Amino acid sequence: MILFLAGTSDARELAVLLQNEGYPLIATVVTDSAAKSLQDEQIQVRVGRLPQPEMVAFAKEQGVTTIVDASHPFAEEASKNAMAAAEELGVPYIRYERETRSYIHHPNVQIVPDYQTAALAAKERKGVVMLTTGSKTLGIFAKHLIGDPDIRLVARMLPRKDNMEKCEELGVEQKNIVAMQGPFSKEMNAALYQHYGVTTMITKESGQVGAVDEKLEAAMELGIFTIMIDRPKLTYGALYSDFDGVLQALAANKQAQAVR
């Protein structure tokens, strides 16, 4: 049984592929919408975050023999928990992560190592800042940007009740909330930038499948400065950026287990 951490659209495709290849798996996701997309493919799903002790207990309960981590590139804690759980269980850990993109050689793009640095960089620039990194780290940006008379923070996030409550708690006004579910085309991004008069856009280096290209291309065409948060630097071990690599690793593990 494979414990499959799913966190992106391409992770869903990989889960379907593994199931079609005959690998039994159970997926873990954070949101109900992600769960439904997998359940529609007849894939077993557990909803909710799994700290390491709970992941280990759940894996033992399910008879897990391999962990495939296809969580979002920025789900650092989930990956750390999965690696630690695999080590404790003595089972192989395989990481699938969409290929990184190269954006660094453009004068209108600033690469920063973390959310805090991104917030401080935006604070220096002033103007209309559109945040496209979701609600999880909204508090970091609200702390530095809300209340500054020379900054308007526009936050784009999923249209969920808890997100709206979080915005209210942090002081993000309703007129500055874009509650929509992507992915967004380049044209849609451009329309939103123009509507709000955005001068700085903040995003994460999530890769092409993560719709970064569309956000960035629209910003570059409009002359909008972009602050891009780099991916967490984790040492994964068995890391693959294509489905074939994952399949080959699983086949090798299966062969090795059969020999024992």
- How much is the average pLDDT of 97-106? 66
Chain segment 139-154, per-residue pLDDT in tens: 999 999 999 999 999 9
Q: What is the pLDDT of residue 101?
A: 60
Domain spanning 109-229 has what CATH number? 3.40.50.620
Chain segment 27-79, per-residue pLDDT in tens: 988 877 778 888 888 888 888 888 999 999 999 999 999 999 998 877 888 99
Q: Where in the chain is the domain with CATH 3.40.50.720?
A: 2-99+233-259
Q: How far is CA 75 from the centre of its chain?
A: 6
- Give which of 164, 126, 169 is closest to 148, Cα–Cα: 126
- Give which of 163, 153, 203, 159 is closest to 179, Cα–Cα: 159
Helices (H), 90-156: 115-125, 138-145
Q: What is the dihedral angle through the alpha carbons of 232, 238, 242, 246, rounded to the nearest 10 degrees? A: -140
- The yes-or-no verdict on residue 212 having pLDDT over 90 is no
Phi/psi of residue 254, nearest 5 degrees = -65, -40
**How far is the C-alpha of 156 from the C-alpha of 111, rounded, in Å?**
20
Q: Where in the chain is the domain with CATH 3.40.50.620?
A: 109-229
Q: What is the dihedral angle through the alpha carbons of 59, 29, 168, 227, rounded to the nearest 10 degrees? A: 110
Average pLDDT, the chain: 88
- Grouping H, G, I as helix, E, B as strand and the rest as coil, residue 27 is strand
Which CATH number fits the domain 2-99+233-259, given the four candidates 3.90.1150.10, 3.40.630.30, 3.40.50.720, 3.40.50.300? Answer: 3.40.50.720
Q: How far is CA 27 from the centre of its chain?
A: 16
Q: How far is CA 130 from the centre of its chain?
A: 18
